[in-house]
Each structure stands twice: as structure tokens, then as C-alpha cells.
């Protein structure tokens, strides 16, 4: 891979967008690499949590690559948006939890990449924004849809219409990030969070994500039905039997299976 590094530590995978000269801007090649890694992650049953971050201490991802976009035809722009949206939707639909470790600028496509993760942890120097209208375009990797769902339509509209950047504190205040930490502690905090998730029964954690993700896209009756199906599905697992037996025996489960 030219623009992405990927490593696994125990059951946690860390994916790093790595084009630091361009503040990790997403060009087509990087999106294709991202797509290929996400396909691998989908198949790898030993990965319980995926962390996404950016190389260096200045940017998570400063957006889609403006140089590449500057000369696109309508057709090429459409294909570019379709490619990014397809990859980001795959990330959103991964059954394992995903955490964005936002270590600097998360602008345009970079903010959109963080939005398709389940949890966003930001360093104090992080800046978020959807500055597309300052470039004569709309967000194109899901920003109009996911930002509104996460922070509410009114706040999303203000941010998208003005294109203004907000700092990590403001992002936390409006519910865009879960937690703000110092830059030096960012990866430790994120790995602690990932570890605490990966210690739990992995199938149950996945079922929770599927229930929440599907549930917010449908009416509550249908969502509750999904939950019942997924809940009862857990009773097919060894983890359910072992964990409940361990509770009754007043001991801890050694290790959950997959």
C-alpha cells in the first residue's frame, strides 16, 4: 500500500491514512487502497475493533484531494463521489466497532471519514469542518447525511452552509466527538477504549452495532424486532453460555470466543 499503513495488535487493527505531505488528503488511489483494506478487515474474524487515524500530528485527513478534483468532469466527479461513498458506507456497515482517532484537521472528506466511524476521539488540536461550499461544491462523501444524523439538522446546516471550522471542544459540545484528550495521549486513550471493547463477547458486541445501525434507519417497531432477533441469536453462542455460567459460579470468563 502506498498511502495507508495497517497493523494489528492483538484483536485491534489500526489503519493510518498516510499522505502527510498533503495532510493525508484522499485521492482516488487512497480510496481504492482503503476499500481493499476494509474488504480484508471484513473477512478477518480476529479483528474485534478497527481504529482509523492519520499520519503525523497535524492532520487526520484534510479532505478529498483538491488537486485531483480541480479538473474533474461532471462524470469523473460523480464517479469519485460514488467511490468514496461506497468505501465509507462499507466502513459504517462493518459489524465490528470502529473508532476514529482524530489527530488534527478533519475537514471535508476527512470529517466525513470520521463520521462513518462509530466513535470519535479527538486530540486538543483537532479541527472539524465541512468547507466544501468555500470551494464551490457540496460535501460528497456522506457529510450532508451523517453530520445531520449525528449533531442534528440545525447544527449540521450551520456548519455546512458556513464552512467554518470548529475546534475539538466545540465538536465535543455538539456531540460530534465523544471525548477530547491531549495529543500525546490520543493513541493510548483510543487503544484503552478499543481494548475495553475487545474484552467483551465479540459476537454480542457486533450484534449491538448491527441493532443500533439498522434500528436508526427504520421505525421503532422494526428496530425492536431486529433487537429481539439479534438478542435471541446470542443464545446460539458459547460466549452466552460460558458468561452466564461464570456469573452463576461467581468467577470471571477466561476469554470470550468468536
Kindly list the catalytic residues. 112, 132
Using rule CB under 6 A, residue 100 touches ligand HXC: no
Rounding to the nearest 10 degrees, give the CA dihedral for residues 77, 145, 167, 19: -40
Find the shortest distance in angstroms from Cβ 141 to ligand HXC.
Answer: 5
From 2, 43, 67, 248, residue interacting with ligand HXC (rule: CB under 6 A)? 67
Q: Which is nearer to ligand HXC, 97 or 109 (CB)?
A: 109
CA distance 191 to 213: 23
Contact of 60 with 105, CB cutoff 8 Å? yes
Cell of 109: 472528506
Using rule CB under 6 A, residue 22 touches ligand HXC: yes
Using rule CB under 6 A, residue 32 touches ligand HXC: no
Could you give the residue ranges of the DSSP H alpha helices within the chain? 28-43, 66-70, 74-93, 109-115, 143-151, 153-162, 168-173, 186-198, 202-215, 220-233, 238-248
Cell of 54: 492519520
Site string for ligand HXC, 122-141 (x = CB under 6 A): ---------xx--x---xxx
Count of residues binding ligand HXC (CB under 6 A)? 22
Contact of 140 with 110, CB cutoff 8 Å? no
**Quick one: which segment of 103-111, 152-160, 169-177, 241-249 binds ligand HXC (CB under 6 A)?**
103-111
From 12, 13, 15, 23, residue interacting with ligand HXC (rule: CB under 6 A)? 23
Residue whose entry in the numeric block shows the C-alpha cell 459460579: 249
Binding interface with ligand HXC (CB under 6 A): 22-23, 25, 62-67, 80-81, 84, 105, 107-109, 131-132, 135, 139-141
Amino acid at each position: 500500500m502506498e498511502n495507508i499503513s495497517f497493523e494489528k495488535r492483538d484483536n485491534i487493527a489500526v489503519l493510518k491514512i498516510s499522505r502527510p505531505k498533503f495532510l493525508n488528503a484522499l485521492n482516488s488511489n487512497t480510496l481504492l487502497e482503503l476499500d481493499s483494506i476494509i474488504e480484508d478487515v471484513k473477512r478477518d474474524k480476529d479483528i474485534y475493533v478497527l481504529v482509523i487515524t492519520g499520519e503525523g500530528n497535524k492532520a487526520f485527513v484534510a479532505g478529498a484531494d483538491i488537486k485531483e478534483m480541480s479538473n474533474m468532469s461532471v462524470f469523473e466527479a460523480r464517479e469519485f463521489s460514488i467511490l468514496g461513498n461506497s468505501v465509507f458506507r462499507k466502513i459504517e456497515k462493518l459489524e465490528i466497532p470502529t473508532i476514529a482517532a482524530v489527530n488534527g484537521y478533519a475537514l471535508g472528506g476527512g470529517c466525513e471519514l470520521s463520521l462513518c466511524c462509530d466513535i470519535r476521539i479527538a486530540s486538543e488540536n483537532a479541527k472539524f469542518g465541512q468547507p466544501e461550499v468555500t470551494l464551490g461544491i457540496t460535501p460528497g462523501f456522506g457529510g450532508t447525511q451523517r453530520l445531520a444524523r449525528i449533531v442534528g439538522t440545525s447544527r449540521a446546516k450551520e456548519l455546512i452552509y458556513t464552512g467554518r471550522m470548529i475546534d475539538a471542544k466545540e465538536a465535543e459540545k455538539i456531540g460530534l466527538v465523544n471525548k477530547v484528550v491531549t495529543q500525546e495521549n490520543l493513541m493510548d486513550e483510543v487503544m484503552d477504549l478499543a481494548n475495553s471493547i475487545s474484552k467483551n463477547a465479540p459476537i454480542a458486541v457486533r450484534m449491538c452495532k448491527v441493532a443500533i445501525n439498522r434500528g436508526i434507519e427504520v421505525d421503532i417497531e422494526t428496530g425492536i424486532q431486529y433487537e429481539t432477533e439479534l438478542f435471541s441469536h446470542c443464545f446460539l453462542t458459547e460466549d452466552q453460555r460460558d458468561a452466564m455460567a461464570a456469573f452463576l459460579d461467581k468467577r470471571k470468563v477466561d476469554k470470550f470466543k468468536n
